[in-house]
Amino acid sequence: MIKIFKAFLFNKTRRGLLSLSYSHPKETYYINQLMQATGSGSGAVQRELKLMLDAGGLVRTHSGNLVYYQANEKCPIFNESKSIVRKTIGVADILRQTLAPI
């Protein structure tokens, strides 16, 4: 059921970006990291980043000539988004972190 829900709501690239950014909201990522993590190309990642930035779900910061992306904790629906990601997309990541010490 969760698999169907994930596929219904989000494409592969958006799922990857949401999972990474909302599972680790304090972390910042540059575009090459996001491309590698999602397995998507530059164009797909840039399109999804623009949509997520325009919606207020992500923030963009600059450091030198690098641009970093991060979950926007000031977004009015940040907690709800984080909860949805945790319940659907981020389940594998949470299990991996929990079982790592074992």
Q: What residue spans define the domains of the chain?
A: 2-89
Max CA pair span of the chain: 44
User: Which of 36, 20, 40 is CA-nearest to residue 28?
Assistant: 20
Give the residue ranges of DSSP H helices in the chain. 2-9, 12-23, 31-38, 42-55, 78-87, 91-99
What is the chain's mean pLDDT, rounded?
Answer: 84
The pTM assigned to this predicted structure is 0.77
What band does 94 get if pLDDT is binned at 50, 70 and 90? low
**Mean pLDDT of the region 70-99:** 79
- Compute the residue count for the chain: 102
Q: How wide is the angle at C-alpha 79 spanned by C-alphas 29 and 3, nearest 5°?
A: 75
- What CATH architecture is 2-89? Orthogonal Bundle (1.10)
Query: Which pLDDT belongs to residue 3?
Result: 52
> With 80 as the cut, is the pLDDT of residue 17 above it?
yes
